[in-house]
Structures are given as structure tokens and as C-alpha cells.
Structure 1
Amino acid sequence: MANGQKPTINDVARLSGVSKKTVSRVINKSPLLNDATRGKVEAVIAQLGYVPNLQARALALRRNFLLGLIHDNPNAQMVLGVQEGILDTIRATEFALVVRPVDRHSPTLLDDIRGFIEQQRLYGVMLLPPISENDNLARMCLDLGCTVVRMGSARLDEDARLVASNDRQAVSEAVAWLAELGHTRIGFIAGPEGFRSARERQDGFVEGMARAGLKPDPAIMARGTYRFESGRAAGEQLLSAKEPPTAVFSSNDEMAAGLLHAARERGLDVPQDLSIIGFDDTATAAHIWPPLTTVRWPIRTMASTAARKLIEPGSAAAAPSLFPSDLIRRASAVPRPGKDAQ
């Protein structure tokens, strides 16, 4: 450049014959560009030796290149999966991730999050369930000039601000499959009160039982907290019933692992005496013995897509918002004794 001036994004755009927004998308590794455009802009960037001035851009935007992950979720593996998904998208960009756990029951929740966003000058925020279900919180983030994406187990917002799964349908199909295996005494461990995911999964259990012509028995239904110990306690309760279940659907893998522990303490064989299905398909599911049959919640893919929506809100509506869950059949669920496999 003349007089030793550093090249600017305007120079890159002019020599590439594209807009500044397109150059910005190349810098941010956007997947929405074709290879020809990306290659042309990258060649000009290399030719000029252009280096983005993040500080200047942050000042112009009045925002740092930070994405906030805000959660009050007891499932540590789920939160880790979300972090990994976001990092999959931003690893090669100028963005960084800041994680903020909160207490959804705090009377100062909104003020605390407002202070966090303003202090960090966040570019965008991803909200995990159950606080993602708080419409006032999502609205406040938008009012602060922050892009927002909400993760949920049902439709919470418009497509540009949503990544959601079909929990109810997935659980219904899993429970109906247990019935096809000959199980009629099917127990259920629900998630904690106040979680939309817990409600959706419980509704799915009821629907799946109805599809099979079965009626849920409250004597073999219990509520947990999405944590291992609560699954163990729920398992002790279910297995102490006068007529214990031959199969149990657990609303997440951590509680399913606790149930498995309770069954082993009673000398029961899993799956011959008790079939178990979990939900999430976290690392726990594949690592315990027997490996856990579970509903795969595509957490990492959902989080990666959410990060793209945060970085490029103008094109967010084109990205998917619904991510189907699949039943992953492993060794923890088999036909009821005396029932041939389907």
C-alpha cells in the first residue's frame, strides 16, 4: 500500500469486486459462500497481507467478538456438548466463547445477565434450557443489541433465533418400541419440574404408551433431577413396587446410569431382568456396561448451527431450526423374557 498504509477491508472488497459484508463472511469462515468467491477474496487478503483490526471493528460495532453461553442446567455433559458445538463453528474465526452459569430461581436473574452482557459487550448469546424458555430474558438480550439463539425441546421462537429437537415424538417412538419387544410394565423417570424438556419427554412417554394400548402406572413412575443420584433413588423406588417394571425409560442418560446402578445393587441383570432406555446419547451412554440404548439428542450439531446464527443473523433464517432425534439401539434393551425379538 502507498505510504506504508495498512490495507483495509475496503481495499480487499474493492480489489475482490465484492461487498465488505462478503469479505467479513470470508474472514468469519461462513459456510454460506461458494468456493470461487471465498478463494478470490482469500487470494486478495494474502496478496495485500490484510489483517483484520479486531479492536477497531469492536469499537465500531460497540461489541466485542464474544459469544455468551448462558445456562442453568444440571447436566454437565449436555453443557460440554454445547460448548464443543459452538467451538466447532468459531474455532477458525475471530470469535471467542464466554460461559456463564446462572441461577434461574434468583430474583435478580435478569439484572445479573444484563450486567454480564453489558460488561462483556457480547456480540451474541445462546440460551440453554430451561432459561431459554424465559421470553422476558430473550427479549432483554435483543433490546441490548445482542443476537440471540434459544435451544429447546419444542418451538420457542422464530427460526432465526431457535434450535430445537422433537423430544416428544422421539420418546413416543422409543416407548412404543419397548412395547413391540413385549414389555407391558414400562416404568418412567421424569426430568425436573420447570424444564420444558422434562414435560415434552413425559408427554412423549404417555403418547408412546397409548400407541401401544398401554396405560402408565404411577407406581412405576418417578421424578428425578437429571443427575445420577436422582436416577439411583428413582430406580430404588420403581424396583420396590409390588409389580416392578421389566423396562424403564429414563429422561436422560445420567439418571439411566443411576437406575442401572440401583438394579445391580438388587442383583438384577440388565437387560435380561430390566431393559433401560436413556436420552441424550452422551459419552456416558457408550461407556457404561451394558452400553445404553438411548435417544440421541443432536446437541453438538444444534450448538454449531446456533453459533452460525449468532455470527450471521442476516442469514440465520436459512439455517435449520429443527433437529430430529434418533433411537440408538445398544445392549441395554432386549425383548421381554419369553418374547421373540422384533
Structure 2
Amino acid sequence: MGDGTPAEVDLVREAQAGDVGSLGLLLARYQADMRAVALGVLGRVPEAEDAVQEAVLVALRRIGDVRDPRAVAPWLRAIVRNVCRMHLRSRKAVPVDDLESLVLPRGEPDPGELLDRYATRDWVWSAIEGLSPNLRLVTMLRYFTDVTAYEHIAELCAVPVGTVRSRLNQARAKLSEALLATASLAHDDVAVLTEARRRDAEETLRAAGRGSFAEAVAAHWSPEVEITWPRGRRTKGFDYLVRAMNRDLDHGVRHRLANVVAGREVVIWETDLINPPDDPFHCPPAAVWVQFLEEGRVRRFRLFHLPRDAGVPGASR
């Protein structure tokens, strides 16, 4: 495979120009070739298939790096070999997080622009929506928010750190398969959904500042919403949430919206907490609002506070 024919060269150029179908076809065409490399380096072990899946995700992000379209086959083989070497260096299967560079919009100069340029944003999100709820949540947190440390994801999800690692490994494998299988399909416009959810968040926080937080929440949340607070306390209904918000506002604390991650069933807000100058430690520096929707309304809600020492993205990988 990989003879550099005009048809193949055109496929690479179309993929680099942003044609998702060409990119998916290109990676599917070379998957057997990539698998052969992984088997040659690692042997017939589960890690070989993991390495191919991880290499697919790397290639999705870096297809624009291919300078000579006729050399795409050796380029893909080199990616597989590099991933295999990482597996050999750690037989404990330390995760390779190249998906982070594909979809993480918080740690690179402007990855959103990268996604738009390669027209992969909606493609990737469609694959993420196809994950099970547990896999989807850890993926959204890890790759789209500042809750990147495994121990923080574990705390938010109320599961052991090892479970977070396992779920992320499963998610990467399933995403690789789903992306290859759905490249030629039409996908929902994620930007439209995200913008609508962002408007909801902005209006809710503005309403809080006007003293009408309860009304804003009632418009979108179930009156029977189940709320899990930091440290695991649980309440039902949003009355206590409203009181807590109003109490913080009375003390001079303000919420500034930093990020919105919107799926069909899960919406995540990240807010910076601005404390008053005379009480700079009244609240933690940031809050994460994880909202689980049923029939368009928030039915379950988890509030998580990032600790003050959480300034290094991707800690504890």
C-alpha cells in the first residue's frame, strides 16, 4: 500500500483541506498497514490494537503536517512505531493522550480554530455523543474542561482513579472506531448547540446578579433536581442552591463564565469565582457545574470546586 498514486495524493490533499470523508477514507485505507506495524513491534497482544487506535487519533490531529502527500504511508507507519515505543517503555499501559491535542480547547493557542480548519469538530462530537454516559462524562471533563487531573475527575464522578483511567482508555478505543465508521455521514452542528447553552448560562448568571436566580433556574431545571455538592453532600430541589448563590452574592462573590461544554444530555459550565478584595479566600477560584438533562431540563447536577493548586492542566496523568 502507499504507492503515491495521483488518486492517493488527491485524497491526502482533500483531507488536509478539511474534507472529513477523505480523511476517514484515508485512515481506513491504511488501517491494516498500521496494524501490521503494531503487531511487528508489540506482538499479538491487546496493546497492538490499542496502539493502532491511538495512532489514528494522532493522525487525525496531525494530517496537516504531511508535507509530501506521496509519503503518507510511511508517515502513518512512523506514528504507529512511535506509539508502540511508548507502550514498550511502560508495560503498565500509561495512556497516550494524543486525543487531548485533537479536541482539547483549553490548553493550546486556539484548538477550536484547528478543529474548524479540518472540519472535524462536529465529527468528533458526534462520536463522543455515541459513547456510554460514563465514558462520555470522563471524556468531556478530561478533554474539554480544566478538570484534567485524574484525581479531580475521580472526585467529581465519585469513582476510584483507576476507574477514570479505565474509562478513558475505553473511550479512546471506541472513539477511534467510531470516527473511522462515521466519516462519510452528516453530523449535527455542535457550534449551534454550544452557543445556545452558552446563552442560557450567561442569562442565568446575569439573572443571579439581578436577584432573580431562582426564576432563571426554574426555567431550565426540574423542581426535583438531585444536587451533589462538593464533598458528596446531596440535596433535592434547587432551593438550597438558590440560597447558597444569593449568600455568596451578598458577600460580594461574582461568577464569571469561562467555558461551556454542551452535549445533548450533559452540559458543563466552568465559572471563575471572583472574591471581594477584603475576603480573597471566601470561595475557591473556580466552579464546575455538571448538568445532566432529561427531556431538556436539568434533572441531576454536580457542583465541583477546583482546588487552588490545580493550575497545571493535565496533572496526574
TM-score tier after normalising by the smaller chain length: under 0.3
The structure showing larger relative contact order (alpha-carbon pairs under 8 Å, at least 6 residues apart) is 1
Structure number with the higher helix fraction is: 2
